[in-house]
Structure 1
Amino acid sequence: MRQLSELDASFLYLESETTPMHIGGIYVFDASEQTTPLAFSTFVAYLRSRLHVVPVFRQRLKEIPLRLGRPYWIDDPDFSIERHLAYVNLGEHGRRASLMTLASKILEEPLKRDRPLWHITFVDGFRLDDDESDRQGFALIVKLHHAAIDAFSGEDIIGKLLEYTPEPRPITPPRPWYPRPEPSEERVILQAGANILRTPLQFTSLAFNAAEATTRGLIQKQLRKLPMPFPLFSAPHSPFNRQITANRQIVSTSVDLSRLKAIKATLGDVTLNDVVLGLCAEALRRYSTEHGADTSRSLVAMTPISVRSNSLRRATGNQMSAMLLDLSTSESDPAQRIRKIHRNAVASEPYREAIAADRLTELLPSTMLALSARLYSELQIAQRYQPAFNLPITNVPGPQVPLYLQGARLIQQYNTAPLFDSMGLVIVAVSYQGRLTINFTLCPDVVAEGGSLEGYVTESLDAIEDAAQNPGFDGDLENDAESPHQTLTDDVLTALEGVLKKTLHRFRT
């Protein structure tokens, strides 16, 4: 048995009907040079032969009775690959728009918990519409639960499943697999008891979870009275921070990495990641302006940072650090904004001391985190006060060499991330073969006219290039009085410090 970490388990407890917590991917392949189109049965045989490279594909959750502790990953003795695959034929007139609509509907559905937490839909019978040649293609729509992977390890898994040469690899019979016996209930309970003795905070979490049903109403009643002065909720109101529904929309656009690298070279002391964040920030500013939102205060992004060791053999689970980053969207000059983002992020002390997310969940166990998240949603803190941050932005470096699946070349990939209550938009940027694809996963009931974001990215890149070439561009950033950014650690500790001071003051008086 391998127990989930607090961070991994939190993604299970945060899941609801409107917030499925899986990471998604749409992988488009060019099959025009194949004499025989890749059949679904061939794909099944290929995937079956590769299951050994991703052990979590044959592992399911083992819940602990009475939630005495976090679940475990165990081998699924009833594993059947057919339960994780589906086939869809879009027909001869299927195009990219049809594929994205289908993917949005598929990604709205949560993964079933009685089996390993992944699913792949093989999409056949549509045409690639990037030119007039009417080329044939197929696609894979992939769902992997966030409890098993993060965005960085997800890319690693796909890289292991695909091939690096255009010559199809012979499909070999699957390696023999002998699932380890499912542990008995008695062993699971004994293991949970041992874990509770080692980590007293989990016992506290258990007690809190048991009392949740009777105390939840009282907690809500008291929290509604709080003025909420904590700096943790200091991000401005935005069009993206409203209550979400189960509906999803995927909006994506690609740009040449060479253009971003040229901007980096022109601006000097900035990173490529700063340029990517600056491009996203400019697109968000244009969207906000178009929809009449106040842009006088800068949006705040939560930016995950991978802390996965290069020597780590197990490419599953979540190995992330996180920080809150001021995107400087109140700055009107898009090139100057990139310099400010660089100062806010890379050149700052909080960036170098960004706290690992699993350390935060050690302080706040996953069951308590789930309750806090539900209260955050049900009390509408993001609407009644201010959100903790406006949106997550993740930049994932992908392979710069072409990948293949039985001779068909991967020409495009789109990636999605889970939405959360009061967080109606998330951005995932992924590079592949000299291009960067910026993916917006959004709730269309919150982010109106989300399709316009694709055009805003194109306009933003042109505007940044023009501004970067401006000979007068060079501002004094040291004296900028813009509000300082905060890491997650800074905000949490500041809030706790305020509570502690009030408590000590009451004892003294």
Structure 2
Amino acid sequence: MTGFDASLLYLETEQQPLVVGGIICLDVSGLHGGYSFERFRTEVARRVKQIPELRRKIYDSPLNLGRPAWVEEYHLDVTDHVRCVVVDEPGDERAVFEACGRLGSRPLDRSRPLWEIWVLEGLAESHTVAVYFRAHHAILDGATSTEILRTFGAAGRDPSPRDLEPVRVEAGGTNLLRLVAGGLWDFSVRRPLTLSRLVPEALTLPFTLRRSTAGGKSADAEPGEAGQVRPPNSRPFTAPRTRFNATVTPRRSVWGASLDLEAMKEIKDAHEVTVNDVFLTVVGGGLRRYLRMHEDLPEKPLIAVVPVSTRGDGQTQGHNRVTVLFASLGTDIEDPLSRLQAVAARTSRGKKQTSSGMRPGFIQDLATLTPATTVSLFMRLYGDFRLADMHPVIHNLIVSNIPGPREQVEFLGARVTHLYPMGPLMHGSGLSVTAMSLGGSLDVGFNACEHLVPDVDLFADGVRESMDRLLELTRARASGEPGAR
């Protein structure tokens, strides 16, 4: 287990379960032989044999000075992981999302592989079921989730050699002596070597980041409305506090929405920006509408943490290889077109800062030094004493855009109509927005702490309205209509 994957286990508490996943809507009308839950679960059992990530469980000992290990569960019983529930009447999308919110509040059993699948039946639309897939963030990131989706979608394919290989255990297997010996080596040799490399890098990092964004005011700041000059960069601990920047509870409120991907590309081409710039702008517009409705819109722009994958080709060690980008969402800008240009400019500078400043493996190396007991105790105290309510806000929310499959997707032979990914929540950041492209749409999953954001559906409506308005203004400007800049 890598240090970063282990740190995600250490950071988890009862209040802060670090579980990710997605809600998959299926059209089962074309299934050969028809749909039944028993047949569905049998097929899941067959596919799990092809997915190493879903066969792993945690192995550790109090005598281990190093990180826990992943070991293979040789007698995995899918009945412990795949269950069925009937949603409340009338079986509409609200019933589905409310059921997923209740299921998303459940902790995962650490004595088993850290995943579960809930099949939701009783939907109003005929020949339709929903699947809620949940997994611990330590075994699942965006790239891994896409690979797992492909495996579940590859009907009848022969397993690859990687699928059938035994799970490799970094600390040496389930043998206690080998685990302890591996932990001792990690503690006495690997960590000191990592520390010797990180200390000088950490000391020079602030200067490196400052140098990477150095420049004049004209290059690093853009004029705002009414002539004011906005801050040139988005940095941690500078975000304004909102209603969802507080200590989270385990209870979840989830929703999903679909945006027209071709329309987003039309906006991208018209303004010479990226699809991700458009997505961040639309999310910012949705937040602006939602917070204004609650009379909670701050003057400063909200700041999102945007995970950036650093996984290269052929990299299989560890499930999470990321760095992060702090991105302004332009919630301080009323005009959508001006917001888009500001978000694009700030995000471009942020990418330059990230690429020229922090080494891609810096976060992973830093995580290898994480002391498990200390971090776990600190996180429990952090939540119990509600410290996230007291210190400056690090960031407002997590926003992630995962590249999805371009081709038509199936899940165990059934056509996938929508897939709403769900990101993690942390103390101080009780809202996450995660998107994945699927065919001609961008499916967006909204995951929130129910205590902080009980009406996440209203935020999702605001994002859709923000998208419609941005597209309307873009087309108006292209046609030369007055009032469109």
What's the TM-score once normalised by structure 1's chain length?
0.77
Query: Cα distance 1:195–1:245, how it changes in 2: closer, same or farther (>3 A)?
Result: same
- 1:52 maps to 49
Give how far 1:20 is off: 1.3
Query: Cα distance 1:191–1:178, how it changes in 2: closer, same or farther (>3 A)?
Result: closer
- 1:408 maps to 414
Query: Cα distance 1:467–1:369, how it changes in 2: closer, same or farther (>3 A)?
Result: farther
- 1:156 maps to 147
1:31 is aligned, of 15, 19, 28, to 28
Give how far 1:437 is off: 1.6
| Distance in 1 of aligned mates of 2:151 and 2:3 | 27
**Contact 2:253 2:453 (C-alpha < 8 Å) held by counterparts:** no
What residue identity is the alignment partner of 1:137?
A: T
- 1:480 maps to none
What residue identity is the alignment partner of 2:261?
A: L
**Contact 1:27 1:140 (C-alpha < 8 Å) held by counterparts:** yes
Runs of at least 4 residues off by over 6 Å:
175-181, 472-475
Q: CA RMSD in A?
A: 2.9
| Distance in 2 of aligned mates of 1:461 and 1:310 | 34
Query: Cα distance 1:344–1:176, how it changes in 2: closer, same or farther (>3 A)?
Result: closer
Give how far 1:400 is off: 2.4
- 1:185 maps to 176
Give how far 1:463 is off: 2.0
- 1:146 maps to 137
| Distance in 2 of aligned mates of 1:67 and 1:262 | 55
Query: Cα distance 1:427–1:194, how it changes in 2: closer, same or farther (>3 A)?
Result: same
2:462 is aligned, of 456, 476, 486, to 456
2:329 is aligned, of 327, 330, 334, to 327
- 1:492 maps to none
Q: Deviation digits for residues 255-277 of structure 1, max 9, x if unmatched?
A: 11111111112212x11110001
Matches within 5 A, 1:104-503: 104-128=101-125, 135-163=126-154, 169=156, 183-200=174-191, 232-268=236-272, 270-312=273-315, 317-348=319-350, 349-353=352-356, 355=358, 359-363=362-366, 365-366=369-370, 367=372, 369-370=375-376, 373-374=379-380, 376-378=382-384, 380-468=386-474, 469-470=476-477
| Distance in 2 of aligned mates of 1:5 and 1:95 | 42
1:65 lines up with 2:62 in the alignment: yes
**Contact 2:8 2:18 (C-alpha < 8 Å) held by counterparts:** yes
Query: Cα distance 1:361–1:320, how it changes in 2: closer, same or farther (>3 A)?
Result: closer
State the secondary structure of the residue aligned to 1:19.
coil
**Contact 2:87 2:99 (C-alpha < 8 Å) held by counterparts:** no
- 1:507 maps to none
Query: Cα distance 1:371–1:51, how it changes in 2: closer, same or farther (>3 A)?
Result: same
| Distance in 2 of aligned mates of 1:278 and 1:371 | 38
Query: Cα distance 1:59–1:407, how it changes in 2: closer, same or farther (>3 A)?
Result: closer
**Contact 1:19 1:418 (C-alpha < 8 Å) held by counterparts:** no
State the secondary structure of the residue aligned to 1:296.
coil
| Distance in 2 of aligned mates of 1:179 and 1:430 | 28
What's the TM-score once normalised by structure 2's chain length?
0.81
**Contact 2:64 2:184 (C-alpha < 8 Å) held by counterparts:** no
Give how far 1:413 is off: 1.2
State the secondary structure of the residue aligned to 1:65.
coil
Q: Deviation digits for residues 277-334 of structure 1, max 9, x if unmatched?
A: 10001101111111112431011110001111233356x6101111211222212221
| Distance in 2 of aligned mates of 1:91 and 1:289 | 32
Query: Cα distance 1:17–1:441, how it changes in 2: closer, same or farther (>3 A)?
Result: same
What residue identity is the alignment partner of 2:96?
A: L
Give how far 1:190 is off: 1.2
Query: Cα distance 1:464–1:155, how it changes in 2: closer, same or farther (>3 A)?
Result: same
Give how far 1:73 is off: 0.5
Query: Cα distance 1:177–1:67, how it changes in 2: closer, same or farther (>3 A)?
Result: closer
| Distance in 1 of aligned mates of 2:96 and 2:244 | 25
Q: Deviation digits for residues 224-263 of structure 1, max 9, x if unmatched?
A: xxxxxxx742211112102222211112111111111111
Structure 2 runs not aligned, ≥5 long: 196-234
**Contact 1:61 1:74 (C-alpha < 8 Å) held by counterparts:** yes
1:94 lines up with 2:91 in the alignment: yes
